[in-house]
Structure 1
Amino acid sequence: MISASVIETIQFYHLDPMNVVWHGNYVQFFEQARCALLDLIDYNYPQMDASGYVWPVVDMRVKYVRPCRFGQKIQTTATLIEYENRMKISYLITDAQTGEKLTKGFTIQVAVEKASGEMLFRSPDFLIDKLEAMN
């Protein structure tokens, strides 16, 4: 499968009153890795828009294994694990130095035709062809 990773250092503004990363910020870490993955396949949000489709997130899960802390370098990896009928992307956040697993999750996005607002039950053929050529 196709994967991309980003590395980030946890900043003060990521923290909650308990001095660990606030749970909602993990979604931003996922988004950064997802954008790196979509750039890799040349189908990030501008290309989606130009293709006539939008891809809203319709489901998301996050499993918090260990907290991220101020100054910690984390690596977030996004892996495309399904694309025929929807885009399912799995995420893994690890400590960039030790490799310790910190958080995991996934998102599901579906194709919606921009002009009609109709959801497709299958990914557009051009995207399937593009991804199969990459594998």
Structure 2
Amino acid sequence: MITNQTKIRVRYGETDQMGYVYYGNYAQFFEVGRVEWLRALGASYKSLEESGIMLPVIELNIKYMKPARYDDLLTITTKLSKKPLVKIEFDFEVRNEKEELLTTGYTSLVFMDMKKNKPIKAPAYLLEQIYSQFN
């Protein structure tokens, strides 16, 4: 499947009293991973929205194994789970500089027509880019 890696440095404001990354911030890390995954494919959230398509998250799962800490350089690996139709699904891994697996996750998003507020099929140009990567 199509994979992309993004590096993120943990900022102080992303940690809790224990010095660990606050659990809710992982959803934002996954969003950064998805945005950069699309950008690497030659698309963007901005271009999708400009064409009248939004991508709301309809499912999010996170499994925490080890904590990330302030100033850690994290690698967010974003992998397309399967070929999209109306939904697009991603798997995530978060590793630290020692390559320790800290967190895994999954998100499912749906392509929505912004005017009609109804699910639609993924745009053809995006599917072409994705399918070309599978061959």
User: Match for residue 131 of structure 1?
Assistant: 130
User: Match for residue 90 of structure 2?
Assistant: 89
Shift in Å, 1:42: 2.2
Shift in Å, 1:86: 1.0
User: Match for residue 20 of structure 1?
Assistant: 20
Indicate yes or no: 2:39 matched with 1:58.
Answer: no
State how far apart, in whole Å, the 2-side matches of 1:10 and 1:124 are.
Answer: 34
State how far apart, in whole Å, the 2-side matches of 1:56 and 1:129 are.
Answer: 21
Following TM superposition, the consecutive aligned residue runs of length 4 or more in structure 1 with deviations greater than 3 angstroms are none
State how far apart, in whole Å, the 2-side matches of 1:71 and 1:54 are.
Answer: 33
State how far apart, in whole Å, the 1-side matches of 2:72 and 2:117 are.
Answer: 42
User: Match for residue 8 of structure 1?
Assistant: 8
TM-score with structure 2 setting the length:
0.89
Matched positions, count: 133
Q: Please, what is the CA RMSD of the aligned residues?
A: 1.5
State how far apart, in whole Å, the 1-side matches of 2:46 and 2:10 are.
Answer: 28
Q: Write the deviation string for residues 32-52 of structure 1: whole angstroms up to 9, x where unpaired.
A: 111110101222211111332
Aligned identity (percent) is 25
**Runs (5+) with no aligned partner, structure 2:** none
Shift in Å, 1:64: 0.6
